[in-house]
Structure 1
């Protein structure tokens, strides 16, 4: 760190004029939102919008919660939970200090403290960014995974849960028992139809505890679906040092992001909400079309770039996009295979595509292909397979989608093109590696093995010739020719 002095309420006055800081007194706000999953994305997205809102309405500060580790709490507690957002583009970096997070709780240390915060009548929204795997569901079906270790553990002790579904339902149970109106649940993760999906997961979990509780969750708890969009890579030590130097203070954990940001929310808040529209949020009756567009075009393309780019030896998305063949591939993927599956009257999908390509090129955003490649078994169903099923129903080819799927298969074998080990971070990593070792480098056996993973592909795709053939062909090309030559051939 470049300074012995820490960013805090006491040192805000010493910030350079170029650094935007809260226009309100963070100490004078009250918490109206509990947010599960205080990571980089939340701090660069939802917390920033709330920072704007608090300037005129101080009742909507955030109590954050970590469901796993104390790292974020420990990093920010000494600086009054202030932190810096660095917005980076080719034109430079803009710094802004955020004050909307009041405190951060750590669920494994004290689930009781977190549940008590969620039961507080002043809290009217509980939002989440816990990643796809945090919902303890089956990505292929969207249902609660009753065999998930966290769910099994929570059902043995439902009054002290640690999973996101368990925490939500226990807090709602206590509000019901205390005649406190339920909070609105607002999931902000990349799940298809995230509102209905999370509502179903909570109801299914509650049904395993008490049928009356399940009816209450199903009938009386509002869930506001959302679409969130901002690229937020993991912050590097070099970026922390650079930000510290610009601040003249030490910030233990700033976040770095791009200029683009979007938030679309279904307007389902029976007990009240902030004036989201006043700070640029799109309030809609049905978020699903926006969600599908983003999942398929941004997230699907991002994952394709991640797997194929990593295999090609590219460290970041912008480095991958600097290869003309990869840019051409992702443009063709969106134009020819994804966009025809989307019905978005009034939306210029070609302009959205071009904006995405420009964002992927941002050289100031060091978004690692390895980071995006994490948890692929949870991501593929919503990022790829909905598009695949729509293409099949229309009798249309899936060659470039199949290449992205094959890139994932090649990646999760756990060995790269030089023979070095890949650090595969995925809930199914051990199982996927074992399947790869059994199948060896035989593309037919390998594709058959991975397409047979029902958790990912369900039961309908594994024997579908229009899927098996192009995936096997793409996998064979990757194994024989490598990612760079394969992408050039597909983009030719």
Structure 2
């Protein structure tokens, strides 16, 4: 039996299910990038609000690239399970807030029409850093990105998120309908402002008049989102199906902790987010910086160095006291670069992060976190490194994290085994590694010269020396011993 509307009443009593009539739910949100994170985070919040009676805020989930999610969820009427794991306990919940799924490349016109419908008041996104077709160092649109070039030439059959948003807003403008709010939920610095800048520039290239209208009329609130969501495995699917007594082809596995902080700027209206525990604020920036530098920065460092040391998951890496101590040091050193609201306890926040990273039930693979490092480094590690230099503080701990990324993207681990490096600029990284060879004082400068990643920071002699020295230690000692130095 397959999970679906028809089989909901056959679920075991311990499985939580939608507390509302799904037939009465109408969509108010189109979400681009309907992956595991969205389904474990924002979709759960909306599920709670639908249960409270907000039935006009259902979600249409759209995949921009592949059809995997649609193919799995369509036969299930959009239903899926969230398995919350803590220690030996797993709680199961079936979520019903996604009323329909779309595959953008299959029928772009239908997705544009859905976004252009006045009933759609929010278009939200979790498309990962690389999905914005931008330059991470500057936050500007990459006007030479193949998808952007394509979308400017084919405005009614776009590939990129910016292309779809501009196409739908163009129709709203032409029809006299109010624009929707664009809500980014990805780990970008000042994510609302960044996405606003990208979309406005794309629209201006398409039509100066459209660009001006979007700049004057469309809201791009910033957000901070936090929940650890590993990639779903076949074993997860099997475990969830046993717990449900029926097949769920696309469950998500996550931790108990969840947090969503949102800039309260929604001219087209919004659900009562606060009723579901969302924190609405005037300025997300301090919370975003806290998360990027303490959580994401240390997460990436553990992923690269832990992988090199032979550990498969973050929890396994944290079980090694040397890496746990290193993660604590990274957080302490990042904390001094932050300005946070009064009453924020950074020590307590860091302690919570260390506990979450150590959750043995959560199999968050280092290789998953290590993906797309060229897009992640600027906001997760390089900003902290730059600010510590400005404060006259040592940078060795963060330099080691960057060196871990450099060692990782050579594509060969400490035992000589191949690493599957997944990155938007993987060919450039591989070429630099081949030319330099496994020699720190050649490899580090070659990668530091990649301005799309390092910008002008890579030319700073203090940075070049610290990262080259750290990379030399990695080659000489290996990751497990290098984190102790």
Q: Which TM-score tier does this pair reach, normalised by the shorter chain?
A: over 0.9
| 1:465 CA displacement | 2.0
| 1:463 CA displacement | 2.3
Q: Tell me if 1:104 matches 2:130.
A: no
Q: Tell me if 1:137 matches 2:128.
A: no
| 1:488 CA displacement | 2.4
The 2-side partners of 1:92 and 1:30 are apart by 34
Q: Tell me if 1:425 matches 2:416.
A: no
Is contact 1:20–1:95 with CA below 8 Å preserved after alignment? Answer: yes
Is contact 1:73–1:106 with CA below 8 Å preserved after alignment? Answer: yes
Pick the aligned partner of 2:463 from 464, 467, 474: 467
Q: Tell me if 1:37 matches 2:33.
A: yes
Secondary structure at the counterpart of residue 65 of structure 1 = strand
Q: TM-score, normalised by structure 1?
A: 0.97
Q: Tell me if 1:159 matches 2:156.
A: yes
Pick the aligned partner of 2:188 from 176, 188, 191: 191
Q: CA RMSD in A?
A: 0.7
Which residue does 2:315 correspond to in 1? 318
Gaps of 5+ in 2: none
The 1-side partners of 2:284 and 2:338 are apart by 14
Pick the aligned partner of 1:168 from 162, 165, 168: 165
Q: Tell me if 1:338 matches 2:329.
A: no
| 1:392 CA displacement | 1.2
Greater CA deviation, 383-392 or 449-458? 383-392
Secondary structure at the counterpart of residue 376 of structure 2 = helix
| 1:91 CA displacement | 4.1
Which residue does 1:288 correspond to in 2? 285
Greater CA deviation, 337-346 or 351-360? 337-346
Q: Tell me if 1:27 matches 2:17.
A: no
Which residue does 1:390 correspond to in 2? 387
Which residue does 1:226 correspond to in 2? 223
Is contact 1:309–1:320 with CA below 8 Å preserved after alignment? Answer: yes
Greater CA deviation, 153-162 or 260-269? 153-162
Moved over 6 A (4+): none
Q: TM-score, normalised by structure 2?
A: 0.99
Q: Tell me if 1:486 matches 2:485.
A: no
| 1:461 CA displacement | 1.5
The 1-side partners of 2:412 and 2:129 are apart by 25
Pick the aligned partner of 1:121 from 118, 121, 125: 118
Is contact 2:108–2:156 with CA below 8 Å preserved after alignment? Answer: no
Is contact 1:289–1:343 with CA below 8 Å preserved after alignment? Answer: yes
| 1:462 CA displacement | 2.0
Q: Deviations over 1:460-491 (max 9, x none)?
A: 212212211110111001112111111122xx
Gaps of 5+ in 1: none
Pick the aligned partner of 2:299 from 279, 302, 311: 302
The 1-side partners of 2:229 and 2:59 are apart by 20
| 1:209 CA displacement | 1.1
The 1-side partners of 2:483 and 2:232 are apart by 29
